[in-house]
Chains A and B, each alone.
Chain A
Amino acid sequence: MSVPNPVQPPAQIAPYHPPPAYPPPQYRSSQGIDNRAVIALALAITGLVLGVVLGLPGLICGPIAYFMGRSAATRIEASGGAVGGRNLALFGWIFGIVATAVGAVVSLIWLVIYLYSISGPTP
């Protein structure tokens, strides 16, 4: 007496999984940001904001931001993706130049105003 083989269900078919939803293009945020890039950014913005009014802060902070931004960008490139913040470094670098230029122009204006104010009336 043999038991008829029950019909084997097609058990090996994998259950259907919907394809993974592709997330929208995201901003990389997991990697650490180079501190020097943030300092360059802070100096560039400080130089720009204060340099527009006073001139001298732009002349001081601008070049520092430029060199720090460049050095940060080099370090980030050398790290091969381990350290982030390249855009910030680039921003600090470019705005460092802008802050220096703005600081130079405004300082020159202040210098002219000062020289004009101390010069006596022409005879």
Chain B
Amino acid sequence: MDRIAEAFVWPVRDPDWLTKILIIGLINVIPIVGAINGLGWMLASMDRLRSGEEKLAPANFSYLGRGARVFVVYLIYGLALVALGLLPYIPAIAIAVSQNHTNGNAGLIGLALLLNLVAFAIFTLGSLLLTFMLPALILATDRGGIAAGLRVGDVLRRSTANPMNTLIAGLMLIAASFVSSLGVIACFVGVFFTAAYALAMQAWIIRSFEIGSAAPKAG
């Protein structure tokens, strides 16, 4: 688990890393399909790490099938989170709209604000939870398909089996998403390429999580 921090540098150990990242970045430009292929490429890169080869998977369009399963599972979790967040958000908006500037009820406006805060908390905490569950989610889906990824109990059990492991992997995934967003600086187009680099980082992070889960608890 200690080598997890190498996630930032491991892609450049591959002599062809730049070409591969550029190709995956270009494929990423295609809406939805690019993202699905990117996920599959990340899983293929993880396979290479499993075999001890610290090289990125070849960059091409052949990972759609593998990435689609993870994409579907993540989409379902994301939609569930949005639905949960909308439960307090819609009444909050309805109450806020019903109050006008001249004779607004202070209690109702307060309630609308409170419901807004609850919705915001659900979105924020839910996103964090999803980030920390992501390694277990991806591993379960990759092994057992969509059904395994949707077994929330199993995924949570795996995530909480070694909390330190999950915490470190989750933090590193947040760092990876930060790297992913750095491309915005380069006229927004750069984000596709930094996202590809972040996918390579994710492969390392999730592989480290997998090893850490298999090892005895690290204290």
Contact = CB atoms under 8 A, between A and B. Distances in A.
Nearest to B53: A24
A116 B110 CA distance: 32
B31 interface: no
A86 B4 CA distance: 11
B175 A95 contact: yes
A42 B170 CA distance: 10
B174 A49 contact: yes
B97 interface: no
A42 B173 CA distance: 12
A86 B175 CA distance: 18
Nearest to A24: B52
Nearest to B213: A29
Contacts of B171: 41-42, 45
A95 B212 CA distance: 23
Contacts of B175: 45, 48, 95
B218 interface: yes
Contacts, number: 74
A25 B55 CA distance: 13
A8 to B, nearest CB: 46
B5 A87 contact: yes
Given A30-B215, A49-B178, 10 more contacts: A24-B50, A25-B54, A33-B1, A33-B2, A41-B172, A45-B178, A49-B174, A87-B2, A90-B5, A95-B175
17 contacts: A23-B52, A25-B54, A27-B1, A27-B2, A29-B1, A30-B216, A31-B2, A31-B218, A32-B218, A33-B164, A33-B218, A45-B174, A45-B175, A88-B5, A88-B168, A91-B5, A95-B175
Interface of B: 1-6, 8, 50-54, 164, 167-168, 171-172, 174-175, 178, 208, 211-212, 214-216, 218-219
Across the A-B interface, give the 4 residue pairs with the lowest CB-CB distance, nearest first.
A24-B52, A87-B5, A29-B215, A91-B5
